[in-house]
Structure 1
Amino acid sequence: MPHHLARWTGLAGSALLAVAAFLSGALPGSPLRSTPVSIWQGPHGPLIIAAWLIGTALLAGAWWALREQVPSTRWALVTVGLWLLPLLIAPPLESRDVYAYACQGASYAAGINPYEQGVSALPCPWLDTISYIWRDTPASYGPLFVVLSGAVVKATGSLTGAIVVFRLIAVAGVALTAISLPVLARRVGVPAGRAVWLALACPLVAVHLVSGAHNDALMVGLLVAGLAVVASRPGRPGPLLGGGALLGLAAAIKVTALVVVPFAALVAIVGGYSIRALVRHGGWVVGGAVAAVAGVTVAAGLDFGWVSGLARGGDVIAWTSPSTAVGQTVGYLVVPFGGHIDALPVTRGIGLAALAVLLVWLWWRARTREPLEYAGLALAATVLLSPLFHPWYWIWPLAVLAATARKTGWFVVIALASSFLVLPDGTGLARFTKTVGAPLMTLLVIVLLVRLVRSARAAHRPVAAD
C-alpha cells in the first residue's frame, strides 16, 4: 500500500471508531448497562458494530501495510497525530477504566486510603459508571497515579473534566514515548521511523491509550524514557541515577515496570559484563528506581498496599491469558465425565512459576547480548504468563521491542489480533467466546511448547562429521 494511501485509510478508520464511540462508547455520566450484550440489541446495533469492525480493520490494515516501509520518522509522527485527532474529541472507547481512576482519585482526595477500601466506601459520585467487579476492590495502581488521580479530581471537580485531563496525561505519555524511542533505536541500529511506527501507530495506542485514557500511556512513556536515558549515558552516575528514577516512577504507576530494571542495570555497564561493573554502574540504576518508588510512596502518605492489590486482577477470568485458558480447558474436559474441577489456581500458579524462571534465564542471556531487546522480551513474557491479559497490556513490550528487535512479525501479529478483542462499550469478546477460545488457546500453547522442545533438542544435537 502506498504510504499516502495508508495515511488516509487509517484516518478513515479512526473516524469510524470515533462514530462508534459517540454511539455506544463509555459515555461520561452514563450508567453501566445491566445487559452486556445490549450493544448489538439496541436501535443502532448494526451500525455500531459495523463502524467498530470496519474502523478497526482500516486502522490495523494501514498500520500493518507500512510496518517495514515507513518513509521517515517525521512522516510517522505526523500520521500518528492525524489518526489520534478523531479519538481525542470522542467519548472513551472500549473501556471504563478512566471512571475508576476518577473515583479512586475522589477517594484519595477525601482522605480515604484507596488501598484499604474500594471506591464504594466514599461513595464515589460517579459509582454507577464503574464496572461492578471493581466497585469494592482496592486500587492496584501505584502511589504516583493515585496522587495524580486525586489532583485531577480536585482540579476539575467534574467527571467530564477529569476525563479530559486523564486523556491529556495519556497524550503526554505517548509524546514522551515518541521522543525516547529514537534513542533506543539508534543504540540497537533499528530504523527510528520503523520503531515509532510500530509502537505508536498500532491501533491499541489510539483506542486504549488515548481514547481509553489508560494510565499505561504514562507508565510506558516513563519506562521508555528511563531506558533511553540509561542507554544514552552508560557509565555516568548522574544520568544512570536519573534513568533509574524514571523507571521507578513508571513502577509507581504500575509495578510491572520493575521487570525492566535488572536489564537496565546491564545497559548501564561500560565495557564487558562483570560483577564489579554491574555493581559500579548498574547499582545507580537500581538505586534510582528504589529511591523513586519509596519516595513517592512516603510522599503520598500511603503504604505498599498497592502490591497486594495486584492479586485482585485474577478475579477476571478470560481465555486471552494462556494460563487461564489452559485451566478453563481442563475444566471443560472433565465435565462430560461428571467431574467439576477448578484448575485455574494450578495452571495460573504454573504460569507464574514459569515466568519467574524465564525472567532469570532472559537476564542471564542478556549479559552477553543486547539487554534492551531482552527487556522487551521480559515484558512480553510478563504479559503472556500473567493470569490476566488485557489488550492494552501488550503495548508494554511493543514499545520496547519496536525499537530494539529486528524480527517484528510475532509481536506485531499479537498486537493486531488484540485490537479486535473489545467492543466499543468495553465489553470483552472473551466473555462470549470462552468455550471456543480457551481450547484454541490451549492448543496454541501445546503447539508452541512442542516447537520449543524440538528447537532445544536440535540445538543440542551434535553435528555429524563430514
Structure 2
Amino acid sequence: MVTSKFREREVGSSLAHPEALGDSNAPVHGTVIAKAARTAILQGFVGSLLMVAGSIGVGWLASSSALIRTPIFIMARTSPVGVILCTVMLCLGALLLLRSWLRIAQRIGGWNPSSRPVLRRALWMWALPMMFSLPLFSRDAYAYIGQGRLMEQGLNPYTNGISALSNYFSLGPDKLWTEAPTPYGPLWLWIEQGAVWVSASVPELALIPFRLAALAGVILLAVYVPRLAALHGVNPDRALWLGVLNPVLLINFIASAHNDSLMLGLVVAGLYFVSVKRPVLGIVLITASIAIKPITLIALPFAGLLWAGARAGWGRRMLCWTATLGLSLGLLAAAGLVNGLGFGWLGALQTPGAVWIWYAPVGLLAHTVGFVVGLFGGPGVPVTDVIQTAGTAVSALAIVWLAVRTPGRGIGMPAPLDDEPEFNKTVLRRMAWAFAAVVVLAPVIQPWYMVWLLVFFTVTGVADGAQLRTVFYLTAFFTLIALTDQLSVFQWIPIEVVRGVAIAIAVSFIAYLVFFDKKTHVLFRPRRGILKLKPKS
C-alpha cells in the first residue's frame, strides 16, 4: 500500500535531479496536465503515423506478398526517390516519438495520479498506428510464420530450420536464421501454428496474430509495471512513462512485432502476483513467459525467494525453490507432451558463435582477439568460441550468486531484511542485475534486450540524475541503431545510400536533442532540472 509520505515524496520528485522542482509550478490537476501534455502527445502521434507511412517503402514484406504488385508499394519500393522518401519519413517519425517521450515528462512535471490518464492516452495514440505498419527493423515476424508452417506440416522446429519448407524464401525470413532451430517455447509455437492456420498461410494475414500478441504484452506491462513499482515505493506513474512509453519499447514490440513483448508482459505480471503472495498464479504466468521465450528461466529462482519471504531461512528457501522449479517444469513437461516435442527448446538456446554485434563487449572482444590470433596463424575461431563461452559461464555464475546472496535469515546469509517490501525490492533488483549480466556478457545485444533491463530496473527504481540520464542516452542510442540497421531495400537500389540517409538524419536529430534543442538538451546534462511550467495569467 502506498503511504501518504510516499505520495508527498514522489509528487515533489523531478525528472533530472531532486532539487529541480523545489519552487516549480508543475501542474497537479488532471485537466491542466492533459492540456500541458497535449502537444507532446500529438507530436508522438504524428511520429507514429510517419513511421507507418515510411514502412510502405522500407518495411519488410514477404516476396510472395500480393502487396508488392499494388501501385503505392511499387512507387514506394522500386525507385530510389520513393525509398529515400520513405526512409526520411520513418526516421523523422521515430525521432519525433523520442522527443515526444522526453517532452511529455517535462510537460507533466511532478508525478501524481492525475497524470496516469494522460500517460495512458499517449500510450494508445503512439502505439495503435504502429499496429498497421509493415514489420520494421526486423524480419522475425516472417520467421514466426515459417516456424508455424513447420508445425502445420508436422516437422520438428527444434531440429529443422525454415529451409526444410518448400519455397521457404518466399516467406521473407532473414537467411541467417533459415537453417537455425527454433529458440522459442511451446506456447509460442502454438501461437505461430495458430497464426498460419487462421491466415491460410497468407503472410499479411498471419502477421495480425503476432501484432495482437505484441499488443497484449504491452497492455500487460501498462497494467503491472505501475503496480509492481508501487509495491516498492516507486512512483507508478513515473514508472509507466519510463518503462512502458519508452520509444525503444514501442518500436521493437509493436512496430517490429517481437514475441519479447508478450514474454516480458507475462513475466512482469507473474512477478507481481508472487510479490503479493499469490505464488501459484505468479509461477504459472512466469512459466507461460518461459514457454514464449525461455530466457525468463532466469526469473524462477528469484520468484522462489519472493515466495519464501523476508524471514525465510535456508530450509524454507530450498522448499520454495524446489516447489517453484517443480511447478514450472511440470507445466513445461505437460506442454511438451501435448505437442510431442518435449524439452527440445533446450538444445536451441545458444546463439550461433558466428553471430555477434559490434557494440556487444564480449562479442567485440572475442572476435577481435580471434581475428588477431588467426592473423598470426593461430586457432582464431576456437579462441573466439572460448571467450564467448567464458562470458556465458560468468553470467550463469552471476545468476546463482545473486540469488543465493540475497539478504535473509540462515547460516551464511547477508544481514537479514525483515521489512517485506524492502526484501521484495532487493530480490527484484538482484534479478534485474542477473538479466543485465546475461545481456552484457552475450556476444549479441539486440535493441529490445535493453527494454528487458529497463522494465526490471524501473519497477525497483531508476534514480534521478546519472541513472536517468543513462536511460536517456541508451534510448537515443538504441533508437539510432534501430533506424540504421535493418531496412528492406531491393537489390538494385544502393543500400549504402539509403542507410547513409538514415544515419545522417538520425545522428543529426539526436545531436540536436542533446546539444541544441532548448527544451530537451537540459535532460542530457548533469545538474539540470526539467522545464518549469508557469501558469498562464
Q: What is the TM-score normalised by the length of structure 2?
A: 0.72
Q: What one-letter code is carried by the residue in structure 2 that aligns with 1:141? A: Y
Whole-angstrom CA distance in 2 between matches of 1:366 and 1:413: 30
Whole-angstrom CA distance in 2 between matches of 1:258 and 1:149: 21
Whole-angstrom CA distance in 2 between matches of 1:353 and 1:316: 18
Whole-angstrom CA distance in 2 between matches of 1:363 and 1:40: 54
Residues 42 and 241 (structure 1), Cα distance of their counterparts in 2 relative to 1, 3 Å cut: same
Whole-angstrom CA distance in 1 between matches of 2:37 and 2:263: 30
Aligned residue in 2 for 1:363: 403
Aligned residue in 1 for 2:208: 164
2:264 to 209, 220, 229: 220
Deviation at 1:24, TM superposition (A): 1.0
Aligned residue in 1 for 2:7: none
Q: What one-letter code is carried by the residue in structure 2 that aligns with 1:100? A: A
Whole-angstrom CA distance in 1 between matches of 2:100 and 2:130: 17
Q: Which runs of 5+ in 1 are unaligned?
A: 234-238, 434-466
The question of 1:147 aligning with 2:205 is answered: no
Q: Is the 8 A contact 1:245 1:291 kept in 2?
A: no
The question of 1:399 aligning with 2:460 is answered: no
CA RMSD, 1 decimal = 3.0
Whole-angstrom CA distance in 1 between matches of 2:46 and 2:256: 19
Residues 425 and 21 (structure 1), Cα distance of their counterparts in 2 relative to 1, 3 Å cut: farther
Aligned residue in 2 for 1:21: 55
Residues 76 and 303 (structure 1), Cα distance of their counterparts in 2 relative to 1, 3 Å cut: same
Residues 179 and 244 (structure 1), Cα distance of their counterparts in 2 relative to 1, 3 Å cut: same
Aligned residue in 2 for 1:419: 479
Q: What one-letter code is carried by the residue in structure 1 that aligns with 2:189? A: V
Whole-angstrom CA distance in 2 between matches of 1:364 and 1:65: 41
Aligned residue in 1 for 2:88: 50
The question of 1:325 aligning with 2:353 is answered: no
1:89 to 114, 132, 146: 132
Residues 63 and 122 (structure 1), Cα distance of their counterparts in 2 relative to 1, 3 Å cut: same
1:7 to 33, 41, 48: 41
Between the two proteins, the alignment pairs up a number of residues equal to 422
Deviation at 1:131, TM superposition (A): 1.1
Structure 2 counterpart SS, 1:201: coil
1:64 to 96, 102, 108: 102
Residues 39 and 325 (structure 1), Cα distance of their counterparts in 2 relative to 1, 3 Å cut: farther
Whole-angstrom CA distance in 1 between matches of 2:234 and 2:78: 44
The question of 1:297 aligning with 2:331 is answered: no
Question: 1:261-280 residue pairs with structure 2 within 5 A?
Answer: 261-280=300-319
Aligned residue in 2 for 1:199: 243
The question of 1:308 aligning with 2:308 is answered: no
Q: What one-letter code is carried by the residue in structure 2 that aligns with 1:419? A: T
Whole-angstrom CA distance in 1 between matches of 2:428 and 2:238: 17
Deviation at 1:277, TM superposition (A): 2.7
Residues 10 and 127 (structure 1), Cα distance of their counterparts in 2 relative to 1, 3 Å cut: same
Aligned residue in 2 for 1:438: none
Higher Rg: 2
Q: Is the 8 A contact 1:117 1:138 kept in 2?
A: yes
Whole-angstrom CA distance in 1 between matches of 2:264 and 2:189: 17
Structure 2 counterpart SS, 1:420: helix
Residues 223 and 385 (structure 1), Cα distance of their counterparts in 2 relative to 1, 3 Å cut: same
Q: Which has the higher contact order (CA 8 A, sep 6+)?
A: 2
Q: Is the 8 A contact 1:244 1:286 kept in 2?
A: no
Deviations 1:108-144 (A, max 9, x none): 0111111111122132666451111111221111111
Whole-angstrom CA distance in 2 between matches of 1:260 and 1:77: 28
Whole-angstrom CA distance in 1 between matches of 2:64 and 2:461: 42
Q: Is the 8 A contact 1:103 1:124 kept in 2?
A: no
Whole-angstrom CA distance in 1 between matches of 2:456 and 2:352: 24
Deviation at 1:19, TM superposition (A): 1.9
Q: What one-letter code is carried by the residue in structure 1 that aligns with 2:449? A: Y
Q: Name the stretch that deviates more: 165-174 or 338-347.
A: 338-347
Q: Which runs of 5+ in 2 are unaligned?
A: 1-14, 16-35, 69-75, 409-422, 489-494, 501-537
Residues 127 and 45 (structure 1), Cα distance of their counterparts in 2 relative to 1, 3 Å cut: closer
Q: Is the 8 A contact 2:196 2:206 kept in 1?
A: yes
Residues 413 and 380 (structure 1), Cα distance of their counterparts in 2 relative to 1, 3 Å cut: farther
Aligned residue in 1 for 2:435: 379
Deviations 1:38-67 (A, max 9, x none): 999933343233223322222122223455
Aligned residue in 2 for 1:454: none
Whole-angstrom CA distance in 2 between matches of 1:60 and 1:29: 32
Whole-angstrom CA distance in 1 between matches of 2:387 and 2:105: 35
Aligned residue in 2 for 1:118: 161
Q: What one-letter code is carried by the residue in structure 1 that aligns with 2:255? A: S
Residues 171 and 420 (structure 1), Cα distance of their counterparts in 2 relative to 1, 3 Å cut: same
Deviation at 1:179, TM superposition (A): 1.6
Residues 367 and 273 (structure 1), Cα distance of their counterparts in 2 relative to 1, 3 Å cut: farther
Deviation at 1:392, TM superposition (A): 1.3
Q: What one-letter code is carried by the residue in structure 2 that aligns with 1:164? A: I
Whole-angstrom CA distance in 2 between matches of 1:66 and 1:353: 42
Q: What one-letter code is carried by the residue in structure 1 that aligns with 2:273? A: V
Q: Is the 8 A contact 1:17 1:87 kept in 2?
A: yes
Whole-angstrom CA distance in 1 between matches of 2:368 and 2:183: 28
Q: Name the stretch that deviates more: 264-273 or 189-198.
A: 264-273
Whole-angstrom CA distance in 1 between matches of 2:216 and 2:86: 30
Structure 2 counterpart SS, 1:422: helix
Whole-angstrom CA distance in 2 between matches of 1:165 and 1:365: 42
Deviation at 1:12, TM superposition (A): 2.3
Residues 424 and 207 (structure 1), Cα distance of their counterparts in 2 relative to 1, 3 Å cut: farther
Structure 1 counterpart SS, 2:481: coil
Q: What one-letter code is carried by the residue in structure 2 that aligns with 1:307? A: L
Q: Name the stretch that deviates more: 20-29 or 156-165.
A: 20-29
Identity %: 30
Whole-angstrom CA distance in 2 between matches of 1:179 and 1:45: 38
Structure 2 counterpart SS, 1:43: helix
Where has structure 1 moved over 6 Å in runs of 4 or more?
38-41, 334-340
Aligned residue in 2 for 1:456: none
